[in-house]
Amino acid sequence: MSLTDFRGELFRPGDPGYPAAREIFNTRTAGATPALIARAKDAADVLTLVRHAAERGSPLAVRAGGHGVDGTAMPDGALVADLTGLTRIEVDPATGRATLGAGVLLGQMDAALVEHGLVVPSGTVSSTGIAGLTLGGGIGYQMRRYGATVDSLLSAEVITADGRVVTASPTEHPDLFWALRGGGGNFGVVTELTFEAHPVPREVAAGFIPFPLDQAPGVLAGLRDRLAGLPRELAVVGALTACPPLPPVPPELHGAPVLMLVVVYSGAANRTDGVVGALAGLGRPAAVAVAPVPWPAANRMLDVIAPPGRRYYSKGGYLATLDDEVIDIVVRHTAAAPPPASPPLPSTVQNLWAMGGAISDDHAEDATAFSREGTRWLWETVTEWDDPADDATFTGWLDGVRADLKPHLRSNGYVNLTTDDGPGWRRGVWGSPAKYARLVTAKTEWDPHNMFRHNKNITPQP
Ligand SMILES: Cc1cc2nc3c(=O)[nH]c(=O)nc-3n(C[C@H](O)[C@H](O)[C@H](O)COP(=O)(O)OP(=O)(O)OC[C@H]3O[C@@H](n4cnc5c(N)ncnc54)[C@H](O)[C@@H]3O)c2cc1C
């Protein structure tokens, strides 16, 4: 199969469009030189590419939203299937089903769904791709109410390594469907995803409650102790970071380290004051900047602190509980964090995501490859800067936080919100040894020659 059948655009090094086609979110991982970036027009083009790679025994990298934390969308010397042109969005309000092309970004999905009062639970930065996010699991502001993104996935169209187009669903190739829901891009190229969407108010209460850092231990402990009683419609993330210059915050706190509760409440409007008041009452906040906003705006309020084109490094892991020692470690490292490289953008954000609710309690661990067992909190820390000369400062700081937290982190985790930690880590991140064995079986069945190896890779059996 030659690429003469390919109807999309092809970019090789030296072509005028190549530098733009090669761009991905994180410049720290964006220096590689893929051999050929093939921007598909449709699924037929992706099929052509897969068959082309298969005939040559060549690996195939996949680029959807380009947000992957390891930069595996654009590896050196690779043939890249660029899915950014697959932007079809179809919403059926009668059935509540949404079918999305693999190039759709979260902001585009939210905008199309909210027209119908619907949401697919996903992530918190609007330029992230729905494809890569879903294949890893998908967590965000609706997870306590509706579960992870994978919990709403009904089916996927997949181009397999042996050049077939298949549907994976509970009734068609259920082993593949199970593995896709968390196992990443290991099993084929997903060209289309169909979800069950859920009701969401057009307007939700969203914003920030910042506390000076000396109050952080008490506020986090209070949040931990009350989490079980908080409504599922409430999403709350404890973000330890430099305080942005928000108008209601006193100027002396701008740029100082704070605990910022990031809040989205999508329950009944008449309960908002009570819910927000309970969070504010955990300490003496510098401000309470939570207000009614359209749901898509709430789901992109963090865009401003995560612009594309910076150098990013991130680590994450699951915590069974937010014990006092964990709180002490994150607060201590926040106080010692390198100062922002380009204020007012922060350079370090330690997020403590409150889980519980639907994502933790409504879905069995073995129902999906995505693992959630035994976790009530997700720790995720992102560092961002611009100058390569600062790499060691920021990666070194984060590696130090991770080293101190390691005894507290569970062996299972969420693959999408952390850089790859190697084969030993991968054997545990999806949960039990039996789950990993099931993933290896699926990999061996669907991609025996490891065509799809530019990812958090599961090695097929020889
Ligand atoms: C700023 C930022 C904010 C984020 N916020 C959240 C969040 O709130 N919640 C959350 O859950 N995650 C979040 N993430 C993590 C995000 O889910 C992952 O980085 C995800 O991989 C991004 O998908 P993508 O399609 O944009 O990335 P890409 O870089 O295009 O893809 C990453 C990898 O996924 C695989 N892949 C992607 N699409 C396909 C496909 N169609 N078929 C087969 N394999 C494929 C490939 O191996 C590819 O290398 C965030 C990441 C960033 C950078």
pLDDT tens for each residue of 385-399: 999 999 999 999 999
Residue 1 has pLDDT above 60, yes or no: no
pLDDT tens, residue by residue, 379-437: 999 999 999 999 999 999 999 999 999 999 999 999 999 999 999 999 999 999 999 99
Q: Which atom of ligand 1 is nearest to the CA of 102?
A: 41
| 377 vs 237: CA distance, rounded Å | 10
Name the least confident of 195-209, 244-258, 395-409. 244-258
Residue (of 457, 446, 450) closest to 177 by Cα position: 446
Q: Which residue is closest in CA terms to ligand 1's atom 19?
A: 68
> Beta strands of 229-376 (E only): which ranges?
234-242, 257-265, 289-294, 311-319, 348-354
| CA of 158, closest atom in ligand 1 | 42
Centre of ligand 1 to C-alpha 190, Å, is: 13
Percentage of the chain lying above the pLDDT 70 cut: 100
> Whose alpha carbon is nearest atom 32 of ligand 1?
68
Return the best residue to mutate from 74, 133, 236, 452 for the ligand 1 pocket (most ligand atoms within 8 A of CB).
Answer: 133
- HEC-encoded secondary structure of 77-143: CCEEEECCCCCCEEEECCCCEEEEECCCEHHHHHHHHHCCCEECCCCCCCCCEHHHHHHHCCCCCCH
Q: Compute the residue count for the chain.
A: 462
Rounded to the nearest integer, the mean pLDDT of the chain is 96
Question: Where does ligand 1 bind, in terms of residues with CB under 6 Å?
Answer: 25, 62-69, 72-73, 83, 102, 123-125, 128-129, 131-133, 135-136, 138-140, 184-185, 189-190, 306, 416-417, 454-455
Helix (H, G, I), strand (E, B) or coil at 61: strand
Burial class (CB in 10 A: 0-12, 13-18, 19+), 217: middle
| Domain architecture of the chain: domains with CATH | 3-82 (3.30.43.10), 89-200+441-446 (3.30.465.10), 203-417 (3.40.462.20)
Torsion angle defined by CA atoms of residues 63, 67, 72 and 78, in that order, rounded to the nearest 10 degrees: 40
DSSP secondary-structure letter at 243?
Answer: P
Residue in 29, 50, 67, 318 to alter for ligand 1 test, most ligand atoms within 8 A of Cβ: 67
State in Å, rounded, how far the first CA of the chain is from the last one.
Answer: 26
* Cα–Cα–Cα angle for 453, 372, 185, rounded to 5 degrees: 15
Q: Which of 135, 192, 236, 418 for a ligand 1 pocket mutation test, highest count of atoms within 8 Å of Cβ?
A: 135
pLDDT tens digits for range 314-353: 999 999 999 999 999 999 999 999 988 888 888 999 999 9
Q: Which two tokens stand for residue 50?
A: 């897969």
pLDDT of the residue at 246: 82
Where does the pLDDT of residue 218 fall: very low under 50, low under 70, confident under 90, or very high at 90 and above? very high
Ligand 1: centre distance to CA 69 (Å): 7
Confidence of residue 118 (pLDDT cuts 50, 70, 90): very high
What local confidence, expressed as pLDDT, does residue 457 receive? Answer: 98
The rounded Å distance from CA 341 to ligand 1 centre is 25
Percent of the chain with pLDDT over 90: 94
- Greatest CA separation for the chain: 66
Residue identifier of the C-alpha nearest atom 9 of ligand 1: 123
CB 230 within 8 A of CB 282: no
* pLDDT tens-place string over residues 269-290: 999 999 999 999 999 999 999 9
Task: List the one residue out of 137, 26, 40, 20 whose CA is nearest residue 73.
Answer: 26
Indicate which atom in ligand 1 lies nearest the CA of residue 69. Answer: 19
What is the position in ligand 1's atom list of the atom closest to the CA of 130? 25
- Sheet strand arrangement including 36-39: 9-11, 36-39, 79-82, 60-63
